[in-house]
């Protein structure tokens, strides 16, 4: 049994509490007038993470485990291992490795919730840092992917699925479809948001931008969506654009889009078949194109607070919305009976402790 004292983010707001963990659950949440000034947050949940600690999910093997350990040490308690556009055989090998890591989670690892399949069903004209293996929707191939690992989110370009057959396939299986890596116009995006697409992948990036006479995917998202993911590293998206999206999209949530470079020194790393270079706080291809990030969810939380969000709202956008989006009722909040997935920060937002399923992570 473990007891943590601090200011906890609860359904009633920030409360001074003594929180008790037994096994993998929160068993008591008692008000306390002696609580420490540190913050107790629901463990961060990242729905778009390609790697970390020098490992890229597309490498297969133990890469997903390496990423799970790195991100657990930085406050992520659950995440979606995210693939890249690649030949089918390479994606299948990566999916099989993720499934194996999920079957036998190791000590010190964030929980892998499943897979975010980012491609190959995207536009060849909006690859961003994706390798040039984009294809149109293939339901047989998608079924093969689903048989290998639990896929929870799929990025789809409207051009790759013009008749919506892939989106319908995903919806029937409870998989979230997100519009991304697409050059479609406002009208197409708005129509898909109204029918078969749930959100956008890294809002503002690798999609048609907002112009007052051609609002694009960004305009459609701001006008119509309830959910969208966004990379708040303050490099991918200008703070002013983040503030605009926060006002427009009720359930805008943070992701890292982290690459193997997360938690590593400056240098060269892999992102699928691409070689990327980390320099300072950014990750880029040789031509300067942004290529994922080196962001952690702890940094994402601090960046949201720096933009003026309250502690409670920043916690909602780094944990609660993600849990709700995937239909997870056992995490993403702090309450008795829920999983003890917790992050403890000092009053100045430095990471102090992380608990995954009640187990303390060595930082």
* Active-site annotation, residues: 257
Point out which residues pair with 156 in neighbouring strands. 179
Contact criterion met (CB below 8 Å) for 62 and 104: no
CA distance 27 to 88: 45
Tokens of 133: 């293996």
* Cα Rg, the chain, nearest whole Å: 19
CA distance 45 to 33: 30
Sign of the four-CA dihedral 189, 195, 196, 202: positive
Q: Which helix (H) or strand (E) holds 275?
A: strand 274-279
Length of the chain: 363
Sole residue written with tokens 């790195």:
70
Helices 139-148 and 165-172 cross at an angle (nearest 10°) of: 30
Contact criterion met (CB below 8 Å) for 218 and 193: no
């Amino acid at each position: 049994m473990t007891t943590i004292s601090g200011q906890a983010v609860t359904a009633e707001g920030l409360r001074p509490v003594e929180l008790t963990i037994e096994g993998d659950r929160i068993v008591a949440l008692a008000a306390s007038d002696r609580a420490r000034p540190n913050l107790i947050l629901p463990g961060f949940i990242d729905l778009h993470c390609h790697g970390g600690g020098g490992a890229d999910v597309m490498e297969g093997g133990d890469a997903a485990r390496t990423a799970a350990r790195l991100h657990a040490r930085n406050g992520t308690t659950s995440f979606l291992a995210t693939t890249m556009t690649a030949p089918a055989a390479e994606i299948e090998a990566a999916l099989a490795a993720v499934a194996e890591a999920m079957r036998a989670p190791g000590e010190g690892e964030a929980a892998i919730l499943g897979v975010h399949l980012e491609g190959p069903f995207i536009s060849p004209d909006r690859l961003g840092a994706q390798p040039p293996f984009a294809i149109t929707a293939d339901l047989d191939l998608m079924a093969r992917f689903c048989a290998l690992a639990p896929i929870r989110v799929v990025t789809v370009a409207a051009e790759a699925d013009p008749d919506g057959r892939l989106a319908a396939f995903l919806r029937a299986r409870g998989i979230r479809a997100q519009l991304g890596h697409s050059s479609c116009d406002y009208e197409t995006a708005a129509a898909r948001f109204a029918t078969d697409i749930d959100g956008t992948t890294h809002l503002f990036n690798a999609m048609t931008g907002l112009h007052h006479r051609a609002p694009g995917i960004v305009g459609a998202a701001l006008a119509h969506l309830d959910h969208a993911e966004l990379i708040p590293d303050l490099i991918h998206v200008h703070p002013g654009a983040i503030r605009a999206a926060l006002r427009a999209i009720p359930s805008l949530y943070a992701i890292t889009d982290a690459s193997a470079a997360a938690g590593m020194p400056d240098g060269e790393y892999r992102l699928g078949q691409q070689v990327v270079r980390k320099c300072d706080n950014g990750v880029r291809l040789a031509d300067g194109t942004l290529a994922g990030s080196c962001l952690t969810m702890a940094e994402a939380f601090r960046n949201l607070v720096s933009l003026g969000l309250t502690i409670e709202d920043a916690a909602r956008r780094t944990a609660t919305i993600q849990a709700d989006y995937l239909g997870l009722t056992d995490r993403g909040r702090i309450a008795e009976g829920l999983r003890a997935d917790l992050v403890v920060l000092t009053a100045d937002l430095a990471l102090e402790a992380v608990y995954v399923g009640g187990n303390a992570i060595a930082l």
